[in-house]
Each structure stands twice: as structure tokens, then as C-alpha cells.
Amino acid sequence: MKKLLYSATAFFLLATVHAQTEEELKSQISPKKDSIAAIQGRVDALQAQLDALPGWKIGAFGTIGGSLSGFNNWFSQGIPNNNSGTIGFTVNAFANQQEEKFFWRNAANINLNWVKLDDKDDPTDDDGFRESTDVFNISSLYGRKLNDKFAISGLAEYRTTILSNFNDPGYLDLGVGATWTPIPDLVVVIHPLNYNFVFSDEDTIFNSSLGAKIVADYTKQVGAVSFKSNLSMFQSYESGDLSNWTWTNSFAYTLWKVIGVGFDFGLRNNKQETLNYIVNNAPTPDPTATFDTIDNELQTYWTLGLSYSF
């Protein structure tokens, strides 16, 4: 009986000590979190001062994703013998010059993906990699500062595909107007005088026009997280059918040194591209389709994979 009593007492004391130790450790976590937040705040403030210094700032980050697989006699699926794979990458690069009286901002976004599905039981199928995502966009923005927030600016932006149908279509925007930079990481371009040049062999569908250009770009790096969001819109003065917009987003989280996890997604609305696909490239083309008879479906893409920070 005494041994049982001693054992119970010892167990109770050990549990009490453990509980006290756990509570003491937990009580120390909150102040340390506050200290980390304060340190990060000072780091962000210093980084903002560095970003505001005159001179060139150059950088890039991207995402690499891919997979390979092989199946033999896997009869539960429709193609039991196949080799398949996907591979792709995204690069976001910038070269910005900031001076007392002017700025010059240059950016590039490239997103390329390939897919492969080789049916080993079908000798006539395509056993190579085929392009699945093809995005290429470069821009250059120059501004003469009126004050710290506003500038008179000119923008040149070009976007197309490069794996297939290069410059068919291709879009070149040239315009002038104003640029607003409310915070160092956000740039808003409003150009009421902009000409949207459209290059394509299908000149009955794709047309150039005069309109307004709006661009909003937010690029931020906080600790191990890099983020970029870009919205580019063109509103045609001639017809809403000639208007378009593209919104791209890139996230990268560094896990070890320059390696991490990246996620990219993009949205696009372009009625000219939709009509061209239905008339010329759809599995069952409809040569009688017009802007008035089609549904302008939203275009999307996304990529998830390893990220690499340059």
C-alpha cells in the first residue's frame, strides 16, 4: 500500500512539474513572436529605404515544375501502357532605374509548359512533348516625375506566344499618360492615349485600334516570400470586341537557400482570340462564327512546382 501511495505521489509531482514547465515554455513564446515581428518590421523599413535609393535594381524569380511516369499493363485506366510527363517553368524578371527626376521600369514574364502522353499500343500517336502553356510578355515604362507620387509616362508593352504561332497574334501597346506610385511596391499606369497594334495572318478577325491602357503592377518580397501581381487592360475606343485584359500572379516561398515552392496562375479575356480559335483551331471549326454569336470564355492557366530565386 505504501509503495502504491509513493508511486501515485511521485506521478502527481512529475505531472505537476511537467505542466509547470510546459506553461513556462508557452509563456515565453509570445514575447519572442513579438520580437520577431518587431525585427521584421525594421527589416522591411530598411528594405523600403534601399528600394527608394537612386540607381538600378535588378532581380528575378521563377517556378520549375515537372513529372514523368510510365505504365505497363495498368488495365484499370483507359491507356494501360503509356509514358507521360509534364515540364514547365516561369520566369519573372525586372530591371528598374530610379532617379530623382525620372524612372525607367522594365519587366518580363515568361511561362512555358510542355506535356507528353505516349500510348505504347498506338504506333501512330504523337510520342513527343507538346506545348501546353505559352506566355511571353515584356514591358518598358518611362516616367518624368512631377512629384513623389505622380509622373508623366510612356509605355511600350509586347505580348505573344513563342513556342508556336510567334507573333500570330502579337500585341504591341504604345501609349502616353500618367503613372501613379502610391507606395514603392505598387505602380498604376493610366494612359488615355494608347494604340493597340495587333499582328496576325488572320486580318479578318484581329484588328488594331486606338484606346485606353491601364496597368497595375505590385511586386513585393517579405522575408522568404516573393509575390508579383500584374493586371494589364486595354479598352478600345472603336469596339468592345477589340478590348482585352490579362491578369498574372506569381508566388514563391523559399524553403532552403534559393530553392522553394512556387505557384503561378493567370486569367485572360480576349474576344478576338476566342473567335479565332472557334473559326480556325477548334476540333470542329465554325467558319460562320462572329463576335455576336460566340461566348467569350475566360482563359486561365496555373503552374505549381519548385521555385528558384535568382
pLDDT digits 0-9 by tens, 35-49: 666 676 666 667 666
Worst-scoring range by mean pLDDT, 4-13, 140-149, 232-241, 268-277?
4-13
Mean pLDDT of 206-223: 93
Decide which of 181 and 222 is more confident: 181
Work out the pLDDT band at 65, boundaries 50, 70, 90: confident
pLDDT at 4 over 60: no
Give the global pTM: 0.77
pLDDT of residue 164: 80
pLDDT above 90: percentage of residues in the chain: 42
Work out the pLDDT band at 60, boundaries 50, 70, 90: confident
Mean of per-residue pLDDT scores for the chain:
85
pLDDT of residue 235: 97
pLDDT digits 0-9 by tens, 18-31: 555 667 666 667 67
Mean pLDDT of 121-128: 85
pLDDT of residue 12: 56
Query: In the 3-class helix/strand/coil scheme, how is the chain assigned residue by residue?
Result: CHHHHHHHHHHHHHHHHHHHHHHHHHHHHHHHHHHHHHHHHHHHHHHHHHHHCCEEEEEEEEEEEEEEEEECCCCCCCCCCEEEEEEEEEEEEEEEEECCCEEEEEEEEEEEEEEEEEECCCCCCCCCCEEEEEEEEEEEEEEEECCCCEEEEEEEEEEECCCCCCCCCEEEEEEEEEEEEEECCEEEEEEEEEEEEEECCCCCCCCCEEEEEEEEEEEEEECCEEEEEEEEEEEECCCHHHCEEEEEEEEEEEEECCEEEEEEEEEEEEHHHHHHHHHHHCCCCCCCCCCCCCCCCCEEEEEEEEEEEC
Mean pLDDT of 150-169: 93
